[in-house]
Amino acid sequence: MLGEIKGLNEECGVFAVWGHKDAAQITYYGLHSLQHRGQEGAGIVVSDGDQLSIHKGLGLVTEAFKEGELDQLKGNASIGHVRYATAGGGGLNNCQPLLFRSQTDSLAVAHNGNIVNANGVKHQLENQGSIFQSTSDTEVLAHLIKRSVYPRLEDKMTNALSMLKGAYAFAVMTEDKLMVAQDPNGLRPLSIGRLGDAYVVASETCAFDVVGAEYEREVQPGEIITFDENGMHSELFSNAAPRRLCSMEYVYFSRPDSNLDQINVHTARKNLGKQLAEESPVEADIVTGVPDSSISAAIGYAEQAGIPYELGMIKNRYVGRTFIQPSQELREQGVKMKLSPVRGVVEGKRVVMVDDSIVRGTTSRRIVRMLKDAGALEVHVRISSPPITHPCFYGIDTSTKSELIAANHTTEEMREKMDADSLSFISIDGMLKGIGRKHYDSNCGQCLACFTGNYPTEIYQDTLHPHDKITSG
């Protein structure tokens, strides 16, 4: 994925282990496979049955854990996290898991998603004497659990989660328990696997393949699963709500080798490309995709259209993060560092450029220009998601309508701005058909809020840009 030049970023990834002597090492490899979900920080908390130990750091997983540091985390249970900073900002204090110690026990929390009523709950807790050590919305859960009057941890967790609104896949660990929970709408993915007699939990199933675990099942919306000395047991903390898995997980965020709700991501993206070719055909010589997340859709488009798929762009995989201040000139250079056109492929050709989404439009414009500078006669842009016209409040960094080009311009205006010869988006119905989740309702169990503005949860005023208006449904 193109990361910061792409303009669309996910909140984070969660991984957990219960009942394995090498819990920290397995979690390290699990987080490494989830690195695409967050590159700003990583951390692991391990339990040896008596105490919790933590290590976390800024940067990639390989940067956060230096030689020998992983060996100091001893125990047979762990939770880990990779972070992309949206709510709460960056910094080591906001890196997860968050660890809290008290005179009676300790509690570690890792979270994927975004709690939309976090500010209001924080205000209430602070009025009652709570002091927050981070600006992350994740910390709210720990305070609610600790303040709960229920004796059983599962009941404390249920009580706390009932006060939260938004998208969340939580992993919570004490000295003798691991608990995972999914929000009532199931907005973020979370799956359970088996590794011998041990259990593993991950935001994506690709992490199971890396550590040698076998997929068992999804964590269901509104479900709490507890792992302890008695094994795995489940209970619901919320009444059933319509499933609303984030559509962009299929379109962009998840790795192609992951399965979401037993649908392979690569297959879904390839079908999106085929559907896009049916809806928006064009005469061209080659089809190419923007690396990496658009390759599958480009292959599907080419196959359906009967146009050769070619590697028209190469991604430089050795460009690390830079601390250079992003002036306009340097942004242009950043695209050239990360992507290079293959002149011998695109020169003198009519090119269909398939991409997964357009957020702000700046990157698409630069890529179109790059292809034309390399000699492409025409560049026809095809997008395998509908126009993103509304901000996301569930863990994606598109928080205002003003930054979304499709919210403020027609398709023709966008085409002119990016100097493309044509521009088409897949329809919402076409996207739902391509992904193929047919066993739910008319939304196919997916959140469509960024395309329609119809949000599956209440959205609170303090999360909105002053000029934005939203509806809930």
Torsional class of 128: left (φ above 0), alpha (ψ -120 to 50), beta (otherwise): alpha
> What backbone torsions phi and psi does residue 313 show, to the nearest 5 degrees?
-140, 145
Assigned token pair, 445: 């169990």
Q: Is 247 exposed, middle or buried (0-12, 13-18, 19+ CB in 10 A)?
A: buried
386/335 Cα distance (integer angstroms): 24
Assigned token pair, 193: 């696997």
Catalytic residue among 12, 95, 206, 246: 12
> Is 206 a catalytic site residue?
no
41/185 Cα distance (integer angstroms): 27
Locate all alpha helices (DSSP H) within 134-264, ordered by sequence: 139-147, 153-161, 206-211, 247-248
Question: In which element (H, E) is residue 245 found?
Answer: strand 245-246
For residue 108, the number of C-alpha atoms closer than 13 Å in the C-beta half-sphere is 30
Residue by residue, DSSP assigns 169-181 as EEEEE-SS-EEEE
Helices (H) and strands (E) in the chain — how many of each? 16, 25
- Catalytic residue numbers read 12
